[in-house]
């Protein structure tokens, strides 16, 4: 089977040497997560790439912060992942005392007729 990329975090695999991604929807989900987690200026040769969600962790969470984050995610996805459409973004700030933020991004891949959900806590 054809592989599309290396699965992150990188782990060893006896077949390919590293664990590989074999499905396009898995690759797109990983790329979206990396886009949200990457800080602007962190990606070589693409200084405006990334949302930098971790820079918001010590902010006083308010509706305006979540609107700013949603707009940044949507704007970055349109620019760097035009194959997807962001359907909904939800934040769970229930663990504020632990300085974590839960994120749910519902998106679709119209060309493949796929709807998916990316969930993670940072």
The predicted-structure confidence for 38-52, as pLDDT tens digits, reads as follows 999 999 999 999 999
- Global pTM? 0.88
Contact 102, 92 (CB under 8 A): yes
Q: CB 119: neighbour CB atoms within 10 A?
A: 13
**Pairs from 64-70 (Cβ < 8 Å, separation ≥ 24):** 66/91
Count of the separate structural domains present in the chain? 1
Q: Where are the beta strands (DSSP E) in the chain?
A: 5-6, 12-13, 17-18, 20-21, 85-92, 102-109, 114-121
The pLDDT of residue 103 is 93
pLDDT band at 15 (very low <50, low <70, confident <90, very high): confident
State the residue range of the domain holding 12: 5-121
Phi, psi of 79, rounded to the nearest 5 degrees: -80, -45
CATH number at residue 68: 3.10.450.40
CA distance 118 to 105: 5
pLDDT band at 60 (very low <50, low <70, confident <90, very high): confident
């Amino acid at each position: 089977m054809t592989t599309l990329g290396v699965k992150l975090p990188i782990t060893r695999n006896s077949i390919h040497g590293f664990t590989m991604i074999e499905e396009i929807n898995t690759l797109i989900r990983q790329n979206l997560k990396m886009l949200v987690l990457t800080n602007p200026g962190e990606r070589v040769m693409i200084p405006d790439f990334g949302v930098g969600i971790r820079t918001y962790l010590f902010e006083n969470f308010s509706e305006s912060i979540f609107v700013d984050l949603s707009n940044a995610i949507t704007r970055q996805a349109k620019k760097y992942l035009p194959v997807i459409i962001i359907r909904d973004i939800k934040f769970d700030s229930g663990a504020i005392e632990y300085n974590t933020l839960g994120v749910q991004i519902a998106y679709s891949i119209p060309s493949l007729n796929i709807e998916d959900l990316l969930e993670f806590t940072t």
